[in-house]
Chains A and B, each alone.
Chain A
Amino acid sequence: MDNTLLFAVISLSAIGVISAIILYFVAQKFRVIEDPRIDIVAELLPGANCGGCGLAGCRAFAEEVVRTEDLSKLNCPVSSSEAMKQIAAAMGLEAAEKDPLIAVVRCNGSRANAPQKVIYDSAGSCAFAHSLSSGESGCPNGCLGYGDCVVSCKFDAIYIDAVTGLPVVSDEHCVACGACVTACPRSIIELRSKGKKDRRIYVSCVNTEKGGPAKKNCSVACIGCGKCVKECPYEAITLVNNLAYIDYNKCRLCRKCEPVCPTGAILETNFPPRKEKPAEPASVADTAEA
């Protein structure tokens, strides 16, 4: 047998053994102990890393859940309440009950309602268009329609309608992560309660101008007349800066405000046609007249 070969085999084996011993001790010394629960929680999360919870991603959320052991302030908007309960169960905690939310576009300034007065001829970004001018319709608060919200959505839940030029949120896909809310430079999109059977009532306008100028640019603008405020039996509507706002926590979906709005700025979604059997048993008497 060749001595050289033997020598090589022995020396390599020796190096291997010595390295293994060193690595063993180093691994002991620098071992990172990670809470196994983080993995369990992370498994239960959707893994979209959308940042809707306010943290860097799903892993960060899981770490936070394990660290604080308090679920009252932490909420993954994307997970169903079912999944949040599972997470709570895994941690041995109580999950906070949450009202499912959805992104609502509070502008109805479609091309028909708010006709184009000037042509915008610059970069197709709402943020830039907003810094440059009041927009093609002249409304300083209305939707610009260049789709910053569409770009920001990680769930394909929002698209710009080619006819109206306004964003449309898909009830099915929207997870209320709030990315579009931050992306919109005009704060048009709001997270509102999804409502029973997806029924919602909201003021579809965020224009704070006085009635005259607002109406000049858009036929369905809120003119701040306050009729809905007087009509609401639950004090759910407030009027600030010439703009009515319906508080979805107080609103009982009685549908009384919608018919009194002179401009049609209040919108209802997914309600059965009027005259038919009213939706909410609590408000049968109220809606009967309407």
Chain B
Amino acid sequence: MKTFKLGGVHPEENKLSAGAAIEILPLPEKVFIPVSQSLGAPSKLIVEKGAVVKTGQLIAKGEAFISANVHSSVSGKVSRIEEVTDTSGYRRTAVVIDVEGDEWDEQIDCSKEVKAEITHSREEIVRKISEMGVVGLGGATFPSHVKLMVPEGKKAENLLINGVECEPYLTSDHRLMLERSREMLIGIQILMKGLDVKKAYIGIEKNKPDAIDHLEKLVAEYPGIEVVPLKVKYPQGGEKQLIKAITGREVPSGKLPIEVGCVVNNVGTALAVYEAVQKNKPLVERVVTVTGKSLEKPSNLLVRIGTPVSKLIEFAGGLPADTGKVINGGPMMGKALTSLEVPVVKGTSGLLIMPEKESRRMPVVNCIRCARCISVCPMGLEPVLLAQLSENQMFETAEKERILDCIECGSCHFTCPAGRPLLDYLRLGKNKVGIIIRNRGKK
């Protein structure tokens, strides 16, 4: 069975909500829509306080090349434009909308009917995806239309669809592949047309046999799409790891996947692309896994962007008494939230509620030079060295040691028997090296 070669770990899977069908979360009374939800330049706000908006109406425009539009996820009145705490724990500008009914913009096709025929040209597809504010839903929130604009002199050969979902606990992509498979496959066809490629591969880890079987039956009707079962190994959902696993190609250090003729998109993104192009529907809702060992009802919820996290937890049975951390994302790469009033954004793939006894970190002791972090690093780096360099502020050496290649998967920290916060220092180092490089460009 295919997989990537270098490093990797196998944490406990804990896919508690794998059997829970996607449920629609009732509309909240208020939504808080952060103005900037994607990677790249901040979007520019275009609504004012007091404005009446419909679901799907544009409220912030992405003007730079790498930035994305933001749409209202509900209908109602803009009651305030204020700073709210977002997933980072900092306060950022957000549009607060009081929900009144659920009136969708006229342009949007709200019918359930699956529209299979792709009538749009390549340019139209890219324009639509950009207009509808579609971003990578795997978590990185990179604007999707930018991925479709292949740079001059490069040629995309393969489209890889990431259905790996290697993070423990998370199941939103798994459920999408089972429940919205036809729409997703059409989305993949649209992406193929947008990129002008003939071949698309859906990579799925073999711990989701039902999804593999289901899609393998369906792909016969969709020429060019192939399902590739993969061995269960973290971090297979990483872009570079997935390319290596499926095509055997290796993305050179510091380069993008297009260098080896590949473009990677998440299954959730494929569905959002379908909705954007075929149904004119902007990215206003997404599937979020709400899970945790002591949670009453681990679920997969279809949630409007901007819904406070507390509403999701309430729906899933309320916050358990022994909660230690509420994590935005999975246990490997996610980040603990500082408040439950944080809104769901485009990049929120899951909420993990961890019991107190599991959530605390191990006590940190001295490094015993076992080199386990080096053997599990999927990028072939030396996490122990990089963390030390970063701790001692030797950022220039860290740059030479390729700290920027780190994908922040956390395998090193996961495997460290001394409990050293390797990933923390790597992230700090990446930040600092990034700043150094940007300043260098200015001179």
Is A80 positioned at the interface, with any CB of B under 8 Å from its CB? no
Q: Which residues of A contact B339 (CB under 8 A)?
A: 118
A138 to B89, CA, bound (A): 8
Q: Which residues of A contact B424 (CB under 8 A)?
A: 122-123, 125, 128
Tell me if B90 and A140 are in contact (CB < 8 A): yes
Is B234 positioned at the interface, with any CB of A under 8 Å from its CB? no
Which residue in B360, B425, B432 is a CB contact (below 8 Å) of A123?
Answer: B425
Is A3 positioned at the interface, with any CB of B under 8 Å from its CB? no
Tell me if B427 and A118 are in contact (CB < 8 A): no
Given A117-B338, A118-B338, check contact A125 B391 (CB 8 Å). Answer: yes
Is B428 positioned at the interface, with any CB of A under 8 Å from its CB? yes
A117 to B340, CA, bound (A): 12
Q: Which chain B residues in 391-443 approach chain A with CB under 8 Å?
A: 391, 421, 424-425, 427-428, 431-432
Which residue in B91, B338, B431 is a CB contact (below 8 Å) of A131?
Answer: B431
A213 to B84, CA, bound (A): 10
Given A133-B90, A134-B89, A140-B91, check contact A123 B336 (CB 8 Å). Answer: no
Is B361 positioned at the interface, with any CB of A under 8 Å from its CB? yes
Q: Which chain A residues in 201-224 approach chain B with CB under 8 Å?
A: 209, 213
| B: number of interface residues (CB 8 Å) | 22
A122 to B85, CA, bound (A): 20
B389 to chain A, nearest CB (A): 13
Is A10 positioned at the interface, with any CB of B under 8 Å from its CB? no
Q: Which chain B residues in 30-76 approach chain A with CB under 8 Å?
A: none
A135 to B421, CA, bound (A): 18
Given A121-B336, A138-B338, check contact A127 B428 (CB 8 Å). Answer: yes
Is B88 positioned at the interface, with any CB of A under 8 Å from its CB? yes
B379 to chain A, nearest CB (A): 20
Which residue in A117, A128, A133 is a CB contact (below 8 Å) of B427?
Answer: A128
Which residue of the partner chain A has the closest CB to B335? Answer: A132
Tell me if B91 and A213 are in contact (CB < 8 A): yes
Is B13 positioned at the interface, with any CB of A under 8 Å from its CB? no
Q: Which residues of B contact A140 (CB under 8 A)?
A: 89-91
Tell me if B428 and A125 are in contact (CB < 8 A): yes
A248 to B123, CA, bound (A): 60
Which residue of the partner chain A has the closest CB to B338? Answer: A118
Which residue in B89, B391, B425 is a CB contact (below 8 Å) of A132?
Answer: B89
Give the interface centre of B89, B359, B360 by most chain A CB atoms within 10 Å: B89
Given A128-B427, A132-B335, A134-B338, check contact A122 B421 (CB 8 Å). Answer: yes
A16 to chain B, nearest CB (A): 45
A133 to B89, CA, bound (A): 5
Type the 1/0 row for A116-155, where 1 means its CB is closer than 8 Å to any CB of B: 0110011101011001111100101000000000000000
Q: Which residues of A contact B335 (CB under 8 A)?
A: 132
Tell me if A128 and B425 are in contact (CB < 8 A): yes
Q: Which residues of B contact A123 (CB under 8 A)?
A: 421, 424-425, 428
Q: Which residues of A contact B391 (CB under 8 A)?
A: 125
Which residue of the partner chain B has the closest CB to A152? Answer: B393
Which residue of the partner chain A has the closest CB to B392? Answer: A151
A123 to B88, CA, bound (A): 17
A127 to B421, CA, bound (A): 14
Which residue in A117, A121, A209 is a CB contact (below 8 Å) of B91?
Answer: A209
Contact sample, A vs B, 16 pairs, CB 8 Å cutoff: A117-B338, A118-B339, A121-B336, A121-B361, A123-B425, A125-B391, A125-B425, A127-B428, A127-B432, A131-B428, A134-B85, A134-B89, A138-B89, A140-B90, A209-B83, A209-B91
Task: Enumerate chain A interface residues (CB-CB to B < 8 A).
Answer: 117-118, 121-123, 125, 127-128, 131-135, 138, 140, 209, 213
- Return the 5 tightest CB-CB contacts between A and B, nearest first: A133-B89, A123-B424, A123-B421, A128-B428, A134-B89
Given contacts A122-B361, A128-B427, A133-B338, 5 further A-B contacts (CB under 8 A): A123-B428, A125-B428, A133-B88, A213-B83, A213-B91
